[in-house]
Chain A
């Protein structure tokens, strides 16, 4: 499944300062769909190069990170259970505090 992943608000520093990643992610063995839970595990293994605790906490993202699936807060689509489709755009963005 082809997905576009984007990291912002400083999270890109965890993946070698690259913001946009066009990736192919396979469905887990025996599953007929790919969920956000699967994708997070995949991102952690394949894209996060340092300080994984700055990206994840438990099986979800750490507090202060917004997850957007096709420009929509993942809270509205089922969070970890959100089912992804081909060509979906997933944005991970850390909330900023500066001014």
Chain B
């Protein structure tokens, strides 16, 4: 009989082997799907050239004559419920089939937008993203499945779109959108859908659409609210007309910090697909010069009238000189004071001697050093998970609660008869630095923060500590 240790390592080896096999099979599926896609588009082209040939001869059947609108028999069947709509019909559907739409971001907004755009028969559908699928995306990014965790979102989204509709062209742009590649990518499409999650990307995509003359369907969601509008459409305003000056970086909350109810970007993403379909098929009144505001908690949708194109706009105004070269040279991260990528910023506020690492903190706990650990995260974060014996005093209320810190320190000192240290922790190590700076100004000269916060505790000390 093998010992426990040997048994465990045998199981681990077996798991590894199975995982390798799973990865091989998944890759094989991807390859086959790509092949299938190619076959389908070849067959499609053949069919089309045959129908052109038929046109050389006197019409042989009513069906041939009716195919003048360009829809194949398969398309007629697939999109029949669209064709049956008097206000949509054959004209709008063939417009859609001839159109091309680019979705920037395959996340919470992009997921439903892409699913509907693929299903409805947009002729060419492009996807831009540079991220990989993560478990904490899955509650809202419904285009991805668990099997794709760790793989590029573009691959995952493209495969989902192909499995819904193998007759359209899906283009994968597996890269981060930058000023260096945006003109080249966006110029290949008729309509752009902004499904990104940060301020610099929104300015960059809007400016790029202005210099290329493309309509932009812009959606955003955070927490329990969503917003939607169409920019740069038939003389309507662009993003800069509405927001000529970027907001302070502290006003730009991210889903990874503030949270978001999964279905909220889902709703906005669906509405983005709808607006893109209306523009592509030339049906209805796109949401230009108006903005839709969605509040999930009160179940209210408000549609408001917004300003028109601004004559003073730096991107699209009357006397602007903004062109493709200016666009390429423009520094959007500097302009908005925030990064184009979604990775959270790493603040460096404190000198190294005002900080300790999570490993050092662990050693001090083990050695029984008298100390107080203040956790400055908001209360609802603290409720998710926290370190033992920590004192939760959120950064926003710290100044008013300094006496609590003083008395906790005193208590520690009474027990041991020596001075107690003061440590501050937060989620990632940014707020803890702000807190220590404030504490030192208020006379707590020994305050130190824990570098990298609970994230580094989970990475470097306790791999079982839950992260969120």
Contacts and interface: CB of A to CB of B under 8 A. Distances in A.
A99 B396 contact: no
A72 B304 contact: yes
A39 interface: no
Contacts, number: 105
A73 interface: yes
A99 B243 contact: no
Given A64-B243, A71-B305, A76-B307, A99 B196 contact: yes
Interface stretch (B168-176, B252-260, B401-409): B252-260
B343 to A, nearest CB: 15
19 contacts: A8-B295, A9-B227, A53-B248, A63-B243, A63-B244, A64-B243, A64-B252, A66-B306, A71-B302, A71-B303, A71-B305, A73-B307, A96-B220, A97-B197, A97-B198, A97-B199, A98-B221, A99-B105, A99-B110
A15 interface: no
A98 B243 contact: no
Given A54-B251, A96-B226, A99-B197, A91 B220 contact: no
A96 B268 CA distance: 12
Interface string A33-65: 000000000000000001001100000001111
Contact of B298 (A19, A63, A76): A19
Given A54-B251, A64-B243, A64-B247, A98 B197 contact: yes
B132 to A, nearest CB: 17
B361 to A, nearest CB: 30
A95 interface: yes
Interface in B101-115: 105, 107-110
Given A64-B248, A98-B197, A98-B255, 19 more contacts: A8-B225, A8-B293, A9-B227, A10-B222, A50-B396, A53-B248, A54-B248, A63-B247, A64-B245, A73-B306, A76-B305, A97-B198, A98-B220, A98-B222, A98-B265, A99-B107, A99-B108, A99-B195, A99-B196
A72 B304 CA distance: 6
Nearest to B141: A99
Interface residues of B, number: 46
Contacts of B109: 99
B437 to A, nearest CB: 17
Contact of A91 (B252, B258, B302): B302
Interface string B23-60: 00000000000000000000000000000000000000
Nearest to B247: A64
Contact of A72 (B197, B245, B246, B305): B305
Given A95-B247, A99-B109, A9 B304 contact: no
Contacts of A99: 105, 107-110, 195-197, 219-221, 255, 265
Contacts of A9: 222, 225, 227
Interface of B: 105, 107-110, 195-199, 202, 219-223, 225-227, 242-248, 250-255, 258, 260, 265, 291, 293, 295, 298, 302-307, 396
B390 to A, nearest CB: 24
B66 to A, nearest CB: 42
Contacts of B303: 71
Interface residues of A, number: 26
The residue among B108, B195, B250, B291 with the most chain A CB atoms within 10 A of its own CB is B291
Contacts of B199: 97
A84 interface: no
Nearest to A71: B304
A8 B293 CA distance: 9
The residue among B107, B199, B293 with the most chain A CB atoms within 10 A of its own CB is B293
Contacts of B225: 8-9, 96
Contacts of B219: 99
A72 B307 CA distance: 8
A97 to B, nearest CB: 5
Nearest to A69: B304
Nearest to B256: A98
A79 B298 CA distance: 28
A97 B248 contact: no
A42 B303 CA distance: 26
A3 to B, nearest CB: 17
Contacts of A68: 304
A96 B222 contact: yes
The residue among A64, A71, A76, A96 with the most chain B CB atoms within 10 A of its own CB is A96
Contacts of A66: 242, 291, 306
Given A66-B306, A71-B305, A73-B305, A98 B260 contact: yes
Contacts of B251: 10, 54, 62, 64, 94
Contacts of A5: none
Contacts of A73: 304-307
- Smallest CB-CB A-B distances: 6 pairs: A64-B247, A98-B222, A63-B245, A96-B220, A75-B307, A99-B197
B142 to A, nearest CB: 13
